[in-house]
Amino acid sequence: MKTVSLTIDGKKIRAREGEKVLWAALDNGIYIPNLCALHDALEPFAACRLCFVEVEGKKQPVTACTEAVEQGMVVNTRGPGALRLARTAFELLVASLPVDCAHCPSSGSCELQKIAAHLSIKLKTKRFRKLLRELPIDYSSPLFIYDPNKCVLCGRCVWICRERLGIGTLGFAHRGFDRLVTTFGSEPISESKCLDCGECVVACPTGALAFKDRQGIKSGLGKGG
Amino acid sequence: MKTTGLQSVVSTFREIKSRAESQWQELCNSGKPVVMVGAATCGRAAGALGVIRAIKDEVKKHKLDCPVVEVGCMGHCYAEPIVIISKPGYPPICYGHVNKVIAERLIREFILGDDPCLEFVLGALEANELVPSLSDFPRARFEKKIILKNCGHIDPEQIEHYLANGGYTALVKALQMPPEVIINEVGRSGLRGRGGAGFPTGQKWEICRNAPGRPKYVICNGDEGDPGAFMDRAILESDPHSVIEGMIIAGYAIGARYGYIYVRAEYPLAVHRVRIALRQARKLNLLGKNILGSDFSFDIRLFQGSGAFVCGEETALIASLEGEPGIPHHRPPYPATDGLYGKPTLINNVKTLAYIRHIIDNGAEWFASTGTEESKGTAVFALAGKIVNTGLVEVPMGTTLRQVIFDVGSGMQNGKRFKAVQIGGPSGGCLPESALDLPIDFDSLTDAGAMMGSGGMIVLDEDDCMVEIARYFLEFTQRESCGQCTFCRLGTKQMLEVLDEITKGQGRIEDIDMLSRLAEDIKAGSLCGLGKTAPNPVLSTLRHFRDEYEAHIKEGRCPALMCRDLIAYYIIPEKCERSCDACVGSCTTEAISANKKRIKVIDQEKCVKCGTCLSACPPQYNAVVRLSPPSEVPASK
Ligand SMILES: Cc1cc2nc3c(=O)[nH]c(=O)nc-3n(C[C@H](O)[C@H](O)[C@H](O)COP(=O)(O)O)c2cc1C
Ligand code: SF4
Ligand code: SF4
Ligand code: FES
């Protein structure tokens, strides 16, 4: 395996040739906010727009999940340009989520809390209008609850269910602001082809997919990044 | 290619061409009068099909020997339906605004009789003593038709018309050139992609030719989703072979075997004509296996797109061709190396491809002699909005906006004042009067905050509110966003909410800063070109018309008197005529009544601001006005 050496936040690291900056950083204990990245996916989804970093020699910040490492590359995950974009993207997400950590089963394991802390911003936005969609919550599965209002459309559940497990219960529907993750024909999960394996719940970085039994979360295998 | 093969290519083509030429001669010089009717979508919308029927009926009635030919769009869309009559002894004469009655008269009085009905003439197609010719129009001084040249002058459903007018000679010439030389020629011509971004075409071809992987594909992007744009439709409907010829040459140059023409399904006439054109080209072996007996094979399929705006974005378009949801992907990799089914794919716009035959025929230097330093050739615009001559125009790059709007487009409708021009559709921007002397090219427009985009040009006057215009375009992109990435899905929605509030007089002054900061972030942070350009209408209006935003926010006033929530209708008592009550009956909500002096008064509580009274008030009184803010209405006594 060929490797290259690069510097991230002043730290010299080695990474496999062709690896994306995001994974090189995470593998070396350097956190970069991310929601939609999946290491095994064939192509980066690049939808959440949180993983911006600055690369020496590039005028604009780039998404770390799409940027391949290069020999001698110098990456700064905390450059002002990158942070500004990550913060705006995060605030936009938060502005359209019903933030209620106190009553959310995923509080503590939620990636959004982690990212907010990392970017040192609150889970409340003053800058933007609150835009909620008020979609019905699906309680029909015996194992988990699906609350589309808390979904950030990262696509992890869709990928796991379709690409890794080959089941394809969940998919995207509609466009623009109305885009959402749902079952075929928007039928309740219990009437879909869901096998109740719970892999999507484990993959979900937010409280959108949450086990009914709170213990389920605790035993869930590490929630992402 | 082997020389023997080439000789057969040349001789086969010579035969095809001479057959086509004699057909064309028979049409043009047989001593018979010929009637041509513009029957592209624009003409049809104005009633061209009825006109054709009327003409054919009249021809039959009088047992005339007079071919009636359907042609495409001449670009004078404001004067549709258009009829061209070529009668021996007269110059070919073009008539505008033809209806069934005029059509019948033309046949009776001009074809049967000898009166060319000068009252309906738009102009002659060549200089003569009798009628002023179109080339004497002021606009002709600025226009230079390359890819629109055939449009409206040949029957797009007859390949012979295209062949007789120089069609497919470039292909034959190209087949005798090494592919590298063709690419070099296209590169030296300075041609840049007309799909919006202006990427150098030769460079794209070269990358694609050098990319490993087989088979390679050529895609013609005919998605054209911008509201108000119809250049690509007009070309596909009026001169489809010019695009097909460009594609075949591109295929030969990059080493592709297959091509796709992606047309939106909402363009049924374009679909129909492209299909016919492909069939005819295949029949003459200009397309298909061993083209004209050479060892080059290339075939083209037509694909009908679902019509989403974002499907015009190249990676989304390719996904949609593959049967996947039409959603953009991160670039790189670019389609030129990793496109359809992961293979190297050349994707070019309809217009870009239509230029190719002219560049091969006339040479790179000829093409590069028109235009500016960095943008060569011509630009095609669809003129729309408050301009006298709406329609398609083709002008050299470097022509100024003023020349396009005031000389080619004949200026503003109803003597109104020019306020701004919106260029480039939803990804473009609004430029004010101070930008009118800007020579148009890819870079000058981008620097000014607009964009060449696909070439929509909407002219706005004093009655257009710039905040509302920005809101309108943002609403479009917001609706058309695929919704996968955060900035575009949620950012444009936030901007739209704020603009909505501003047009309703509920904006806050700090919103202006918020809008521009967010707009910058959406541009920098979005995944694809849709999000990256969606804020342009807002940014450009903020830059050039900030005062209008401030008037809405600070004074609750819409300077253009357009935003419904910020205006009131008012009848000026001094102007109101006692004996008239036209407005009273016109009002649907019975908000207007006469006072003791028989002066009409609007009850502001009941008024729904539909504006019917304003149109109902006779022009000699002109007593109804719009006021903004609504508090300008004097308290009734
Ligand atoms: C949202 C969006 C819509 C687009 N729509 C079109 C279109 O309708 N037609 C087109 O030719 N290019 C369109 N493009 C540009 C294409 O992605 C691509 O750049 C173009 O087809 C390349 O051709 P060219 O090099 O000849 O310009 C669009 C781009 C974006 C981001
Ligand atoms: S439900 Fe969870 S995993 Fe699935 S897209 Fe939404 S946030 Fe991502
Ligand atoms: S910028 Fe808009 S259209 Fe483009 S990928 Fe993102 S959400 Fe989709
Ligand atoms: S992790 Fe890179 S865009 Fe989501």
CATH code, domain carrying B580: 3.30.70.20
The pLDDT tens digits for B508-540 are 999 999 999 999 999 999 999 999 999 999 999
User: Over the stretch B58-94, which tens digit does the pLDDT of each residue have?
Assistant: 999 999 999 999 999 888 888 999 999 999 989 999 9
> B480 to chain A: which residues are within 8 Å by CB?
175-176
Same domain, B436 and B491: no
pLDDT tens profile B543-585: 999 999 999 999 999 999 999 999 999 999 999 999 999 999 9
- The verdict on A159 and A86 lying in the same domain is no
* In-domain check, residue A115: no
Give the residue numbers spanning the domain of A31.
3-92
With a cut of 70, say whether residue A223 has pLDDT above it.
no
In a domain, A114, yes or no: no
- Supply the pLDDT for residue A221: 42
Q: Is B504 on the interface with A (CB under 8 A)?
A: no
| A52 within some domain | yes
pLDDT in tens, B398-440: 999 999 999 999 999 999 999 999 998 888 999 999 999 999 9
The Cα B210–Cα B336 span in angstroms is 9
pTM given for the model: 0.92
Backbone φ and ψ for B19, nearest 5 degrees, come out as -65, -45
* pLDDT band, very low/low/confident/very high, at A225 (cuts 50, 70, 90): very low
Short-list A211, A207, A208, A209, CA closest to A109: A207
Taking each helix axis as running N to C, give the angle between helix B231-238 and helix B268-283, from 0 to 180 degrees, rounded to the nearest 10.
Answer: 40
**Whole-number Å distance between alpha carbons of B517 and A57:** 24
Q: How many domains does chain B have?
A: 5
Residue B168 confidence (pLDDT): 97
Instruction: Note whether ipTM > 0.90 here.
Output: yes
Is B111 domain-assigned?
A: yes
For residue A73, is it within any domain? yes
Any domain includes B144 = no
**Domain presence at residue A111:** no
The reply to whether A85 and A164 lie within a common domain is: no
Whether the CB of A97 sits within 6 Å of ligand 4: no
* Residue B132 pLDDT grade (very low, low, confident, very high; cuts 50, 70, 90): confident
Question: Do residue B44 and residue B167 come from a single domain?
Answer: no
Tokens 């035959």 belong to: B357
Higher pLDDT, B31 or A182: A182
Entry field: residues in chain A: 225
Nearest CA in chain B to A128: B494
CATH of residue B433: 3.10.20.600
Instruction: State the distance from the centre of ligand 4 to the C-alpha of A68, rounded, in angstroms.
Output: 13
- Of the candidates A60, A129, A175, which has its C-beta nearest B497's C-beta? A129
In a domain, B400, yes or no: yes
Q: Mean pLDDT for chain B?
A: 94
Are A47 and B329 an interchain contact pair (Cβ–Cβ within 8 Å)?
Answer: no
Which single residue is written with the structure tokens 């609350």? A147
Give the pLDDT mean for B311-327: 94
Residues with CB under 6 A from ligand 3: B 310, 328, 481-485, 488-489, 526-528, 530-531
Q: Please tell me whether residues A86 and A140 are part of one structural domain.
A: no
A88 lies in the same domain as A138 = no
For residue B99, being part of any structural domain is answered with yes
- Total domains in chain A come to 2
In a domain, A53, yes or no: yes
The CATH number that applies at residue A27 is 3.10.20.740
Residue B55 has pLDDT above 60, yes or no: yes
Kindly identify which residue of chain A lies nearest to residue B514, measuring between CA atoms.
Answer: A127
Contact present, A48 and B490 (Cβ < 8 Å): no
Size of interface A-B (CB pairs under 8 A): 96
Q: Report pLDDT for A219.
A: 42
| In a domain? residue A109 | no
* pLDDT given at position B452: 87
Both B406 and B496 in one domain: the answer is no
B186 and B316 in a single domain? The answer is yes
Predicted confidence at residue B4, as pLDDT, reads 61
In a domain, B154, yes or no: no
B265 at A interface, C-beta within 8 A: no
Give the model's pLDDT for residue B6: 80
- Interchain CB distance below 8 Å, A177 and B526: no
CATH number of residue A178's parent domain: 3.30.70.20
Same domain, A79 and A153: no
B364 and B223 fall within a common domain: yes
Give contacts of B335 with chain A, Cβ < 8 Å. Answer: none
Give residue A35's pLDDT. Answer: 97
A177 within a domain of the structure (yes/no): yes
Give me ligand 2 centre to Cα A25, in Å: 23
With an 8 Å Cβ cutoff, are B489 and A177 in contact?
yes
Contacts of A49 in chain B (CB under 8 A): 485-487, 525-527
Residues B247 and B125 in one domain: no
Average pLDDT value for residue range B624-635: 93
- pLDDT band with cut points at 50, 70 and 90 for residue B331: very high
Q: A159 and A72 share a domain?
A: no
- Look at B481 and A63 and tell me if their CB atoms are within 8 Å: no
Does B177 share its domain with B220? yes
Q: Is the distance from the beta carbon of residue A141 to the nearest atom of ligand 4 less than 6 Å? A: no
**What pLDDT sits at residue B3?**
61
Handedness of CA A92, A96, A101, A106 (dihedral sign): negative
Does one domain contain both B92 and B172? no
Q: Quick check: B98 and B83 in contact, CB under 8 A? A: yes
Element (H, E) at B486: helix B486-486
In a domain? residue B328: yes
Q: The tokens of B261 are what?
A: 């023409």
Nearest protein Cα to ligand 1, atom 24: B193
Is A210 close to ligand 4, i.e. is its CB under 6 Å away?
A: no
Record: contact B490-A96, CB cut-off 8 A: yes
Best mutation target among A67, A92, A129, A181 (most B Cβ atoms within 10 Å) is: A92
Q: Tell me: pLDDT of A218 over 50.
A: no
Cβ within 8 Å, pair B491-A95 = no
User: If you search the block for the tokens 């909410």, which residue do you land on?
Assistant: B497
Instruction: Residue B319: give the domain boundaries.
Output: 159-368
The CATH number given to whatever domain includes residue B88 is 3.40.30.10
Residue B531's CATH number: 1.20.1440.230
Q: What is the pLDDT of residue A220?
A: 42
> B598 and B449 in one domain?
no
pLDDT of residue A224: 39
Task: State if residue A24 touches ligand 2 by the CB under 6 angstroms criterion.
Answer: no
Give the pLDDT of residue A147. Answer: 96
User: Ligand 4 in contact with A82 (CB < 6 A)?
Assistant: no
Same domain membership, residue B175 and residue B261: yes
Final residue before a domain boundary, out of B349, B368, B387: B368
Of A142-156, B241-255, B444-458, the range with the lowest mean pLDDT is: B444-458
Listed in sequence order, the DSSP H helices in B77-194 are 100-105, 138-142, 159-164, 169-175, 179-189
Pocket residue to mutate for ligand 4, from A51, A52, A77, A93, most atoms within 8 A of Cβ: A51
Instruction: Kindly identify the ligand whose nearest atom is closest to the C-alpha of B334.
Output: 1
Residue A208 Cβ inside 6 Å of ligand 2? The answer reads: yes
* Residue B4 forms part of a structural domain: no
B355 and B316 in one domain?
Answer: yes
Helices (H), B239-363: 240-254, 268-283, 314-321, 350-362
Probe site for chain A from B318, B331, B490 (most A CB atoms < 10 A): B490
Average pLDDT over residues B131-158: 90
Is residue B265 one of the residues assigned to a domain? yes
**Do B89 and B183 have their domain in common?**
no
Ligand 1 centroid from CA B245, angstroms: 20
Q: How many residues does chain B have?
A: 637
Task: Find the residue in B nearest to A179 (Cα).
Answer: B483
